[in-house]
Amino acid sequence: MTLPKIVTPTYELEIPSSKEKITYRPFLVKEEKILLLAEESEKDSEMLLALKQIINNCTYEKVEVEKLPMFDLEYIFLQIRAKSVGEVVDLKLLCEDDGETYADVQVNLDEVDVEFTEGHSNSIQLTDEVGIIMSYPQINMMDLSSNSGTENVFGIIKNSINQITEGETVYERADFTEKDINEFLDSLTTEHFKLIQEFFETMPRLRHEVKFKNPKTKKQNKITLEGLNSFF
């Protein structure tokens, strides 16, 4: 016996970093199961795997999930979630004016976007001759988040260096070894390292400003939600 199949609607979105338009669908029961199992595990690694699988499924495997910056993936997942469960999410946000009262706030996911900082560049000039070209952290780099501290920070930085330039000479990532990149980073001054930190601090990210009233003090509050976890 052939049972009827329900037609799933499709939508279109624009990937923030590349402006490429892609088609996607809401997640179905099979993706809901993936998400629930990952949540039950309470492991970041399982949630990352679930995120990759759901985006891959819902974009008809047309997106190279492993190669996209994290902020692109967060944005795509947010759009998929909005069309799957609903555009409006209910959040409990801490009121900053008293630091103890929580307010019930509704956020429309359709209004959430990736924010690009003015003047931000992936090209960092360290000296008159030496510079580096950065790439944005991808989802596999976030697996490093299970490791804390300095090792984690340096791991993400190393994996984000795409090219090193010296005058007219360009060294591609494939051209240098792990030892080479470690020695290069160890040779940087504090000022050089601050320039790299600035790249990460100003890179595009999922961000949305929310204004709401403290139900207890009646004072107006303003909070900036940042990153996927802030919306759930």
50 neighbors 38 (Cβ within 8 angstroms): yes
96 neighbors 223 (Cβ within 8 angstroms): yes
Instruction: Kindly state the average pLDDT of the residues 34-63.
Output: 89
Amino acid 85: pLDDT: 87
Amino acid 145: pLDDT: 46
161 neighbors 199 (Cβ within 8 angstroms): no
Does the structure show a pLDDT above 90 at 142?
A: no
Domains and CATH numbers, the chain: 8-86 (3.30.2220), 87-113+205-232 (no CATH), 123-202 (no CATH)
Amino acid 106: pLDDT: 94
Does the structure show a pLDDT above 90 at 140?
A: no
Confidence of residue 167 (pLDDT cuts 50, 70, 90): very high
Residues 3-42: pLDDT tens digits? Answer: 888 888 999 999 999 999 999 999 999 999 998 998 888 7
Intra-chain end-to-end CA distance of the chain, in Å:
41
More confident site: 104 or 152: 104
Amino acid 116: pLDDT: 93
Instruction: Kindly state the average pLDDT of the residues 74-94.
Output: 93
From the list 75, 71, 79, 73, the residue with the least C-alpha distance to 24 is: 79
